[in-house]
Amino acid sequence: MSLEAFHAGLKARLLSDAGLGAWASGHFSRALTAIDGNIPINTLGDGEVPALIFELGDGEGQGTDGELQDWVADIHIALVWTEPGPSSAFAQRLELPGLLARAIIADPSLGGSGVVARLSAFESDRGANHPTHVMRATVSAFYIEGS
């Protein structure tokens, strides 16, 4: 029951999700590459995309009970890929919010990691980096930290 468990559970859930896996392999003939820590997208090599990048967001304490602390915290993710066709890239961006939501809804406890997670926001780059594309999302979780 920790921020570390939230990250590990989210990463494992998204990388093992059949829908996201089918999206990556169907469009790019390869699995998603996981990267911890935000990096400039222009530093990603061809062998690293499509990439799923994880970065720590913000958290807020919700209360305490003795030695326990309730938290709501965010992990930001970015899916990065290359697609030269504008309409194909649009269709790929259009699929991702639903795929991400269904991946988390399938197991909001993220494998029993002691959290309750949900997709709380997403944002498309709207093709601004074409032919590289980025879909950002925020996953929020409630968890209890303590001894």
Mean pLDDT check: name the lowest of 52-61, 64-73, 77-86, 121-130: 64-73
Q: Of 55, 43, 42, which is closest to residue 131 (Cα–Cα)?
A: 42
Tell me, what's the pLDDT at 133?
A: 96
Characterize the bridge pairing of strands 115-124 and 51-65.
Answer: unpaired
61, burial (CB in 10 Å: exposed 0-12, middle 13-18, buried 19+): exposed
Q: Is the dihedral of CA 56, 83, 90, 24 positive or negative?
A: negative
What are the structural domains of the chain? 3-26+48-146 (3.30.70)
Tell me, what's the pLDDT at 108?
A: 96
Mean pLDDT across the chain, nearest whole number?
A: 93
Tell me, what's the pLDDT at 113?
A: 81
113 φ, ψ (degrees, to nearest 5): -75, 0
74 φ, ψ (degrees, to nearest 5): -115, 145
pLDDT band for 54, please (50, 70, 90 cuts).
Answer: very high
Per-residue model confidence as pLDDT tens digits over 76-126: 999 999 999 999 999 999 999 999 999 999 999 999 888 899 999 999 999
Contact present, 138 and 121 (Cβ < 8 Å): yes
pLDDT band for 67, please (50, 70, 90 cuts).
Answer: confident
More confident residue, 78 or 65: 78
* pLDDT exceeds cutoff 70 at 147: no
* pLDDT exceeds cutoff 80 at 146: no
Tell me, what's the pLDDT at 114?
A: 83
